[in-house]
Amino acid sequence: MAVIDSTRSHVSTAGFGSLMTRVYDTIVAWNERRATRKALSQLSDRELDDIGLSRGDIDLVARQI
């Protein structure tokens, strides 16, 4: 006689939701840094100097967001 196991192991969707939230947050943070780099890069050297930055500071500032 054959025995059929009708029980299923519980598949957690909370882990998947958490993963998707982390992926979404990572993409949002990356996009904010990208937009900051782009905006600062479009400023002239004088404009950067007015706000206390130089071209070399742009990546550092973007990483702090």
Per domain, the residue ranges of the chain are 16-63
Structure tokens belonging to residue 28: 């949002």
Query: How many residues make up the chain in this entry?
Result: 65
Return the pLDDT at 27. Answer: 98
Contact 17, 10 (CB under 8 A): no
Q: What pTM value is reported for the model?
A: 0.71
Q: What is the pLDDT of residue 14?
A: 72
Residue 33 tokens, joined = 């840094």
Q: What is the largest CA-CA distance in the chain?
A: 86
Has residue 1 got a pLDDT over 60? no
Q: Measured on CA atoms in the order 11, 14, 16, 19, is the torsion positive or negative? A: negative
| Distance, CA of 8 to chain centre | 36
Q: In this predicted structure, what is the pLDDT of residue 21?
A: 95
pLDDT tens digits, one per residue of 8-47: 666 566 788 899 999 999 999 999 999 999 999 999 999 9
